[in-house]
Amino acid sequence: MQIAFLGLGVMGYPMAGHLARAGHSVTVYNRTGEKAERWCQDYGGTRAQTAAKAAEGADLVAMCVGADKDVLDLCLEAGGVVAAMKPGAILVDHTTVSATTAEALYDACTARGLHSIDAPVSGGEAGAVGGQLTIMCGGDPAPFETAKAALAAYHREMRLLGGAGAGQRAKMANQICIAGVLQGLSEALRLLDAAGLDAKAVIDVISKGAAGSWQMDNRAKTMVDGDYDFGFAVDWMRKDLGIVLDEAKALGVSLPLTALVDQFYADVQAMGGGRQDTSSLYRRFTK
């Protein structure tokens, strides 16, 4: 399949690589051209000078960029990606953005005879490198099935959850759960520290019971060690939680724990931890 991949950050670089290794013809675009050149050296694909040039002739355009503005600027501005795509092509946006942006992209694509799928991912850098991402999708069934098969090289689960925007709303729920679990885990570790118990030993025990979670298995011990220089950055989590809280306000839903954790993450940013993993929430309890 002819695929364009836009955005070669921590996630996009290995994701595009999996597609090339799976035998697809991949053209990449990245704002920093040097990174695109390095990707081509690593995987043998083609670099385009603009996002629109990458999209020309592609059967599927996958995108993993920063935020709503990046998506809208790349796709909907005059001479952008949507204008460059051929009729019937599929745009798959892996960026975590608002449901409103996902719906606007869907409407713009539909008006031009294109297909759009909002497809935010979960699994972090490790999931991208290992090709084991979970992808939550919104859009129409037929193009979804085509995209699911084409992108099989980097997902372990890819599911259509409803119409346009459904994938982004599912990702909001995902981020709420992560934030809540990390809050509970941080409080538990603070209690163990104050009580003078061996936190790692306690975690080994309680992780085998109902308290067990992915965060406990993969982050608790690094939290105890104060090791946060990896993973999903606090800055990005705050961006995501802002999207969650805006959606909740629009829906008339109260999310008190999410709002509280968002403010705690603001404290971590103020402590200089914006680029640290989200598990650095624990710093807020040990400062």
Which 3 state secondary structure label does DSSP give 164? coil
Query: Tokens 């990245």 map to which residue?
Result: 30
Contact (CB, 8 A) for 262 and 166: no
Alpha carbon of residue 13 to chain centroid = 13
Name which of 12, 122, 128, 19 is nearest 70 in CA terms: 12
Average pLDDT of the chain, as a whole number: 97
pLDDT tens-digit series, residues 243-282: 999 999 999 999 999 999 999 999 999 999 999 999 999 9
What the block records as the tokens of 256 is 């008190």
What is the pTM (predicted TM-score) of this model? 0.95
pLDDT of the residue at 73: 96
Q: How far is CA 167 from CA 68, 94, 98, 283, in A?
A: 15, 10, 10, 31
Helix (H) or strand (E) holding 182: helix 166-195
Instruction: Give residue 168's pLDDT band: very low, low, confident or very high (50, 70, 90).
Output: very high
pLDDT at 287 over 80: no
Across 223-243, average pLDDT = 96
Separation between Cα atoms, residue 117 and residue 62, nearest integer Å: 10
**Domain 169-286 adopts which CATH fold?**
N-(1-d-carboxylethyl)-l-norvaline Dehydrogenase; domain 2 (1.10.1040)
| DSSP class of 255 | -
Separation between Cα atoms, residue 143 and residue 90, nearest integer Å: 7
| DSSP class of 277 | B
Across 140-167, average pLDDT = 98
Separation between Cα atoms, residue 89 and residue 143, nearest integer Å: 9
Catalytic residue check, 171: yes
Instruction: Give residue 166's pLDDT band: very low, low, confident or very high (50, 70, 90).
Output: very high
Considering 35, 86, 148, 171, which one is annotated as catalytic? 171
Name which of 161, 162, 179, 160 is nearest 242 in CA terms: 179
**Which residue ranges make up each domain of the chain?**
2-163, 169-286
CATH of domain 2-163: 3.40.50.720
